[in-house]
Structure 1
């Protein structure tokens, strides 16, 4: 028997002046006291009270660093009346991060880990009538710096002390995120009262084989009495129970389900899930589970689900907000719909963030999105000494158990880029023998996964090589990350790689115009100070312009900079994704950096910090489609990642830019399910007489790709000439464009007129005489002429009066 009472009301937040760092004392010179929202954090409470400006706007971030250097106290009062239960626990599902918890003036516990929960017995401290609960947070920055002073400096990608505290690393700032070091009660808190016994831990291990699904439910029980107990479990109409003898605290209930319907990744089958219910007396635990098997062929790095190799069409996931309590289930559903809409089948939860919420993994299971879960270690060497080691053990054990029921979870990964850092970033000399995290990745974490979740594979990190003695970035084995393209090389350099699996690669572009306009109150110019504040990458804007290379012209105005750099981001990632997909089955996956942003920023994301789809999103939707045509290395790759054969006549036409056919070939092609068929380009269509004045079209059924023989800056484009007309539609407008000439990469940006407006398509190349229709969704009246003119409607070879 148990009852739960949330403690989410009546909280007051106040600054603890005695705990203010010297660097923050000049700012926190008076008492700060305001109502607080729990779950929540200091920043959102101060923002709601009007005590700070929005940290996402302008350069407000710079003036708010004092918040992370300040101690904060949350206090609430509640009324308690004695009940019939034997035990009462204060259950803290998430405290961020260095906290002291007191009840009626008595300290009940101290914490130093955002990634785990805490449970404190408090019945002996509760009083009839009024009770006072206080959670006081020390500065996470100060704590981390103190630990660094004791344990010794460790090399990493950033100077911030995030490796010295078990907290979301990107809170301290990243090359796409602000430094907003949070504190607060960030997950639910409440009182659980119980008698007899309670379900302390439920860990179902789900397997399937030979037409039978098995569920071994491992249960730990906390007892207030030593009397015998009955434990039962039920799934898919199958029930079983065991008797716990006097004093017994652990048991396994096993269930066998004949011919269960399987859970499949999206695109490979249905996502069948079953409710598993576990009961102990009147206490119950329920989750949705799925029957499926998963393994990783490590050397080739091939993900195999239910015995079927899966080509991974993935995106990296970062925390969707610097303040995680603002990420609701509805917001996750919107972001996941954007992922699935772009053809994505896997989300990699990156190691500088969090173990995500139950909603995250549940929605992924519902949608068939596979999840690759990094343990929270990223881009640094991590100390293995106390007190950090014990916290790592506790958080890993808790979260492996917590996430075990979810069929969406495919893989545990020890860290992000720390193996590469130790091997290739000159860390070893700087470490001078100090620990760096290797003991976690090669010993501790795999042993925890093997003990608690043996149904899933584990890898020590990414990138990594499965071949002993090889460097982590060995393209012939395991996974690689490709960052020389963004940092130094033209995106055509992706073609120099023949990898097994690319777990990170990306190219930057600015956010949507309306997102940037909201975030920046001043001048919109590429080099304007406030615009640059929303560009966190080292020398990022220089790399954006350099990345245009010979592909696109250098911009003369902000509007051109915005369009051309967004377009170049889309082209770069389309080139890379299509290159690697064409190599299947040697290469069996790509995970693009990144799907989402946590605030309005120029970054590698396909969906910006305000949730708007950038041109990259549309390019991903095309490049991650089940069926893809791509011209690679004087071949046409016919990529068929569907269950049905793709067959027909491949029609190859070399033609002038005016549409006059110059040569044509037709080749019968059959691409088997889950395969790539490659067709060499015949010289008649593959060798142009004048690369600047010709193009190649490749048609296969309903799919068509237009490929140029020269970069856009060398192509002899005629000035774009087209008719564009606007018509009202039920949910907005239709804009139809009919081309008189070749129109290159037509894009429409309705958010310039209505920030809430969106468009269904983008980056459309039209040949002379062709037509396309864009569907704009909006509930606002828009100027029809503005929808069809610069800077809302754009193309590479556009004509405008003020063009240089």
Structure 2
């Protein structure tokens, strides 16, 4: 295919003949030309609403080879409602960002220079027109995103800006061909019980001439061939005992090159196709109340994160950027990425990296937090995009789960939709009929689930944690993170807690002087309704009151890290009752206060380090248990807003997600804040792979003489975990006493802290000194006499004295109880 990526200009409103990069969008063209300010900085976003309400035109010229009988304009992605003209003649129209289009332009192409224009209608105007025609439908935000097949979060979300894009967002080019082309290639890869790999390759052709053609498929040294008179063919290849593809942590990611060639009767090459495939079996066990993912017949505890588009402007999401983000996920012991339904069907780069790195992927169909009409002009577009993307992604071994929507079944049940809908369609026909039919037809080896959350059957509440998948949002919205312990879920597909981004991210993005939780830029970059009040409630439940912005920043980030780690450890401790934990969310698309572990400038928040430790193969955690019900079967009652105190004394739980037995020798002590041992026990256990073992503790360990001054400490090899009997705000922390030593070599600096007193949640923020600086750990609690070494990598030399002083080096002790 000949790319058509050069020489484009855009025009719209008062903008004329402005150079534009393709692939790209109007916003990035205007930004590159200096016509708008960076929408990610300060409150600039609010100045740019006009872009989404403006019609835009993209124009270029090209020359073409007129020798082939067919010449197609191939548009991999147009955003969104477009009319295409070639040399002044209409070629076609589009109305869906999530699919590609192909137009036969041979009748319109001329010798010499050709003029191509793509007119983009305002997304708002189109969506509002469809809404007026079909009748309004409820959604989570006052925007018409459910009336246009476009990335929903372009219209703003509780973590994202409202930047409604238009443009040629995917490659575009000319494809000259003759006789026939490979219009559709759909491989289904399975593994038989005896270990034989089977690849069924279904091919559909588009023809320019009625003559026999030959299709040849090959993989792993096997070859199949078919001569085709019509437009469809099936080729089957078998591979004896191929090396299996495994998710990360369970084995190698073995991949094989599958290639197809299409030749004419005389041997002339007409077309080709290739992908890397992997041999593995996948099933989801939903028998009874289970929801357990099995890969190659091994049950997998999903240690997951939710994924949103990594930038509002898709052309800025390069393969290198995805690779960096994936490495951050891998380093945090993540094995599953859920692609959320308000974004996009992710790119080939995304899925190829997931294949190579061993991530399991669950892909939502693109419906989120709204009632979606099932009538035209939307229904046919939904079917077309679903078919195209199921076929496109079917070759990837990383993809293990299709989900019909995000929160729409739950929304219909609980969010007061039924009265305003007044019987109008809301998407049920998509989730329960159209989409499962398409998956069964085109990708039958993969599991389909109607929604996230969903509780297996339609007559049960869709967010019942005792069945299927569940989302836990009362913790953030109305309660306290200790309420996670009240849940006994089977699979948690969303849960999370907010915090601001890194300090250097804030300083780059905001000109507020001084920074404050409610300063103009901070307020604008908090998109969640009541978000700051919820942050304040979370702090008040657990931590001393902040004295200034530096305290607030440290404490809110600490509270986020503790909240999510508390939930992950609880869910993992319930194994095998619970077999999945997907934290909301891994990444951000811009600088914002949000639930992300990695902020919009790609910096790790303290949450990232807490998640890494909580998702480690070997987890040692103290969890409340009773002798009668070591893992209670149902949720405990909780009054909204209260700090939940689970019944039962703490027990030691060891979780082993590794491939070998884990033998542990653990010392458990009850100590005072001075570090004196008040009671002790020595415990041994062996934990089989894929199991959790609960070890009761003696009463003298679990009964505090003075809850405000005592702590349980469990230590085994390099694992240490704490159980505090009181909240930090109620503990009389000693003034922090410690010594430090700093050593630098090149771009690496080590900071060793030796504790003279207990130091609670010691955290280093080196990005305050150099925005490139990153440390290797956060939130470390030290007993008197303990030492920890932080390793910091940075591009410039760091000030040693500043590195070990407030606000760079922090612990809870250094905040007055006031």
Find the aligned partners of 2:518 and 2:778 in 1 and give their Cα distance. Answer: 27
- Residues 204/81 of structure 1: CA separation in 2 closer, same or farther (3 Å cut): closer
- SS at 2:27's partner residue? helix
- Which of 571, 576, 586 lines up with 1:580 in the alignment? 571
Aligned-pair distance for 1:381?
0.4
Find the aligned partners of 1:667 and 1:441 in 2 and give their Cα distance. Answer: 50
Task: Specify the alignment match of 1:511 in structure 2.
Answer: 501
- SS at 2:544's partner residue? coil
- Residues 138/468 of structure 1: CA separation in 2 closer, same or farther (3 Å cut): closer
- Which of 7, 15, 19 lines up with 1:10 in the alignment? 7
Task: Specify the alignment match of 1:685 in structure 2.
Answer: 701
- SS at 1:716's partner residue? coil
Aligned-pair distance for 1:731?
2.3
- Which of 291, 303, 309 lines up with 1:319 in the alignment? 309
Find the aligned partners of 1:637 and 1:5 in 2 and give their Cα distance. Answer: 60
Contact 1:490/1:549 (CA < 8 Å) preserved in 2? no
Find the aligned partners of 1:724 and 1:700 in 2 and give their Cα distance. Answer: 26
Superposed, which structure 2 residues align to 1:589-600 within 5 Å? 589-600=580-591
Superposed, which structure 2 residues align to 1:742-757 within 5 Å? 742-757=758-773
Task: Specify the alignment match of 1:474 in structure 2.
Answer: 464
Q: Deviations over 1:641-689 (max 9, x none)?
A: 1111111322111111111111111122111111000011211111111
Aligned-pair distance for 1:508?
0.2
Task: Specify the alignment match of 2:201 in structure 1.
Answer: 217
Find the aligned partners of 2:22 and 2:664 in 1 and give their Cα distance. Answer: 60
Is 1:792 the counterpart of 2:808 in the alignment?
yes
Contact 2:546/2:815 (CA < 8 Å) preserved in 1? no
Q: Deviations over 1:715-763 (max 9, x none)?
A: 2221110011211123221111111111111100111111111111111
Task: Specify the alignment match of 1:140 in structure 2.
Answer: 123
Task: Specify the alignment match of 1:160 in structure 2.
Answer: 143
Q: Deviations over 1:462-497 (max 9, x none)?
A: 111114521001111101100000000011011110
Find the aligned partners of 2:252 and 2:794 in 1 and give their Cα distance. Answer: 33
Task: Specify the alignment match of 2:266 in structure 1.
Answer: none
Task: Specify the alignment match of 2:665 in structure 1.
Answer: 649
Find the aligned partners of 1:81 and 1:208 in 2 and give their Cα distance. Answer: 45
- Residues 117/338 of structure 1: CA separation in 2 closer, same or farther (3 Å cut): same
Find the aligned partners of 1:797 and 1:620 in 2 and give their Cα distance. Answer: 23
Task: Specify the alignment match of 2:794 in structure 1.
Answer: 778
Contact 1:545/1:554 (CA < 8 Å) preserved in 2? no
Task: Specify the alignment match of 2:551 in structure 1.
Answer: 560
Find the aligned partners of 1:471 and 1:673 in 2 and give their Cα distance. Answer: 34
Is 1:416 the counterpart of 2:406 in the alignment?
yes
- Which of 29, 33, 38 lines up with 1:49 in the alignment? 33
Aligned-pair distance for 1:550?
3.0
Superposed, which structure 2 residues align to 1:353-364 within 5 Å? 353-364=343-354
Superposed, which structure 2 residues align to 1:429-444 within 5 Å? 429-444=419-434
Find the aligned partners of 1:586 and 1:619 in 2 and give their Cα distance. Answer: 23
Aligned-pair distance for 1:605?
0.3
Aligned-pair distance for 1:241?
0.5
Task: Specify the alignment match of 1:450 in structure 2.
Answer: 440
Give me the TM-score of the superposition, normalised by structure 2.
Answer: 0.95
- Which of 85, 88, 95 lines up with 2:71 in the alignment? 88
- SS at 2:494's partner residue? strand
Find the aligned partners of 1:325 and 1:781 in 2 and give their Cα distance. Answer: 34
Find the aligned partners of 1:556 and 1:527 in 2 and give their Cα distance. Answer: 14
Contact 1:720/1:799 (CA < 8 Å) preserved in 2? no
Task: Specify the alignment match of 2:644 in structure 1.
Answer: none
Find the aligned partners of 2:541 and 2:379 in 1 and give their Cα distance. Answer: 50
Q: Deviations over 1:138-167 (max 9, x none)?
A: 000111011000000101111100000000
Superposed, which structure 2 residues align to 1:115-154 within 5 Å? 115-154=98-137
Task: Specify the alignment match of 1:62 in structure 2.
Answer: 46
Aligned-pair distance for 1:99?
0.5
- Which of 479, 490, 507 lines up with 1:500 in the alignment? 490
Find the aligned partners of 1:799 and 1:423 in 2 and give their Cα distance. Answer: 45
Find the aligned partners of 2:17 and 2:772 in 1 and give their Cα distance. Answer: 36
Task: Specify the alignment match of 2:296 in structure 1.
Answer: 306
Aligned-pair distance for 1:217?
0.3
User: Structure 1: 5+ residue runs without aligned partners?
Assistant: 18-29
- Residues 799/165 of structure 1: CA separation in 2 closer, same or farther (3 Å cut): closer
User: Which segment is superposed worse, 459-468 or 561-570?
Assistant: 459-468
Task: Specify the alignment match of 1:22 in structure 2.
Answer: none
- Which of 703, 714, 719 lines up with 2:730 in the alignment? 714
Contact 2:747/2:796 (CA < 8 Å) preserved in 1? no
Task: Specify the alignment match of 2:619 in structure 1.
Answer: 628
For these two proteins, the number of residue pairs brought into alignment is 783
Find the aligned partners of 2:765 and 2:334 in 1 and give their Cα distance. Answer: 24
RMSD across aligned positions (CA) = 1.1
Contact 1:81/1:129 (CA < 8 Å) preserved in 2? no
- SS at 2:653's partner residue? strand
Is 1:205 the counterpart of 2:205 in the alignment?
no
User: Structure 2: 5+ residue runs without aligned partners?
Assistant: 264-268, 625-649
Is 1:539 the counterpart of 2:527 in the alignment?
no
Aligned-pair distance for 1:799?
6.7
Find the aligned partners of 1:270 and 1:799 in 2 and give their Cα distance. Answer: 48
Is 1:395 the counterpart of 2:385 in the alignment?
yes
User: Which segment is superposed worse, 665-674 or 359-368?
Assistant: 665-674
Find the aligned partners of 1:115 and 1:346 in 2 and give their Cα distance. Answer: 23
Task: Specify the alignment match of 1:21 in structure 2.
Answer: none
Q: Deviations over 1:209-245 (max 9, x none)?
A: 1210000000001111111111110001111111112
- Which of 221, 234, 237 lines up with 1:255 in the alignment? 237
Is 1:171 the counterpart of 2:154 in the alignment?
yes
- Which of 220, 227, 230 lines up with 2:211 in the alignment? 227
Task: Specify the alignment match of 1:102 in structure 2.
Answer: 85
- SS at 2:129's partner residue? helix
Task: Specify the alignment match of 1:285 in structure 2.
Answer: 273
Contact 1:214/1:254 (CA < 8 Å) preserved in 2? yes
Task: Specify the alignment match of 2:637 in structure 1.
Answer: none
- SS at 2:30's partner residue? helix
Task: Specify the alignment match of 1:549 in structure 2.
Answer: 540
Contact 1:550/1:712 (CA < 8 Å) preserved in 2? no
- Which of 256, 269, 283 lines up with 1:295 in the alignment? 283
Task: Specify the alignment match of 1:20 in structure 2.
Answer: none
Find the aligned partners of 1:482 and 1:669 in 2 and give their Cα distance. Answer: 32
Find the aligned partners of 1:700 and 1:53 in 2 and give their Cα distance. Answer: 54
Find the aligned partners of 1:411 and 1:270 in 2 and give their Cα distance. Answer: 20
Give me the TM-score of the superposition, normalised by structure 1.
Answer: 0.96
- SS at 2:541's partner residue? coil
Contact 2:544/2:815 (CA < 8 Å) preserved in 1? no
Find the aligned partners of 1:716 and 1:39 in 2 and give their Cα distance. Answer: 58
Find the aligned partners of 2:784 and 2:545 in 1 and give their Cα distance. Answer: 26
- Which of 450, 454, 462 lines up with 1:464 in the alignment? 454
Contact 2:259/2:273 (CA < 8 Å) preserved in 1? yes
- SS at 1:733's partner residue? strand
Aligned-pair distance for 1:297?
1.5
- Which of 79, 86, 111 lines up with 2:94 in the alignment? 111
Task: Specify the alignment match of 1:244 in structure 2.
Answer: 228
Find the aligned partners of 2:157 and 2:295 in 1 and give their Cα distance. Answer: 34
Find the aligned partners of 1:669 and 1:554 in 2 and give their Cα distance. Answer: 41
